[in-house]
Copies of this chain bind each other. A is one copy, B any other.
């Protein structure tokens, strides 16, 4: 039997549309017969290079105002709760380190969904280590063991390398999906197109 196709799912905990993708990607990928590799990374360093010191949704108020309304519609459409956290964006460093530690194990995606549920489903903070520890506990995981490994030098270095990889692969926002042939798709709206591409479906004359 042929190996199942793979897509990479690059996400940032401060990203609202990444929340929508994180909550629905497993089911959508399973239906398409595609395997998901979870890639939690930091957009902050990439935004800094563009001269942005916060979310573009804060820098450009009209765009931010629209984004929250669009998020309300899109979350309602797929049946997800939406509560805006304060401050927005949340500092995602600690949560991202933990998610990366577990990225290739079943608990990583489980933890990721729990973070997003806390942050955008309930509007609660994910910033402090204590908040991250509490989320780990709700997942039935050991906060002491995981926080120690997540904040160790090896994992910190791995996150820096992954964020540099994001930059070198021209990622400029989240969520971003890659198929194995390097085709890039940006935004929750492109999840279905990314899955179709991964299974060999090409639109129109793009072969």
Q: Tell me whether A76 and B186 are in contact in the complex, defined as CB-CB below 8 angstroms, given that A60-B172, A66-B170, A170-B66 are known contacts.
A: no
- Is A3 positioned at the interface, with any CB of B under 8 Å from its CB? no
B-side contacts of A193, CB under 8 Å: 73
Q: Are A206 and B76 in contact (CB under 8 A)?
A: yes
**CA of A35 to CA of B185 in the docked complex: distance in angstroms?**
32
- Verify A66–B172 contact, CB threshold 8 A: yes
The 6 closest A-B pairs by CB, nearest first: A76-B204, A77-B203, A62-B172, A62-B170, A76-B203, A63-B172
Listed by A's residue number, 19 A-B pairs whose Cβ atoms lie within 8 Å are A50-B60, A60-B172, A62-B171, A63-B173, A65-B170, A66-B170, A70-B185, A70-B186, A72-B206, A73-B193, A73-B203, A73-B204, A73-B206, A74-B203, A76-B202, A76-B203, A76-B205, A77-B203, A189-B189
Count of identical protomers in the assembly: 2
A183 to B116, CA, bound (A): 27
How many A residues, CB 8 Å from partner?
31
A203 to B202, CA, bound (A): 29
Provide the residues of chain B in CB contact with A77, threshold 8 Å.
Answer: 203-204
Closest to A72 in B: B206
Interface residues of A (CB under 8 A from B): 50, 60, 62-63, 65-66, 69-70, 72-79, 170-173, 184-186, 189-190, 193, 202-206
Which residue of the partner chain B has the closest CB to A169?
B62
How far, in Å, is A71 (CB) from chain B's closest CB? 11
Report the bound CA distance from A66 to B70 in whole Å. 22
CB pair B184 A66 closer than 8 Å: yes
Cα of A202 to Cα of B73 in the assembled complex, Å = 8
Report the separation of the CA atoms of residues A76 and B184 in the bound assembly, to the nearest whole angstrom.
Answer: 16
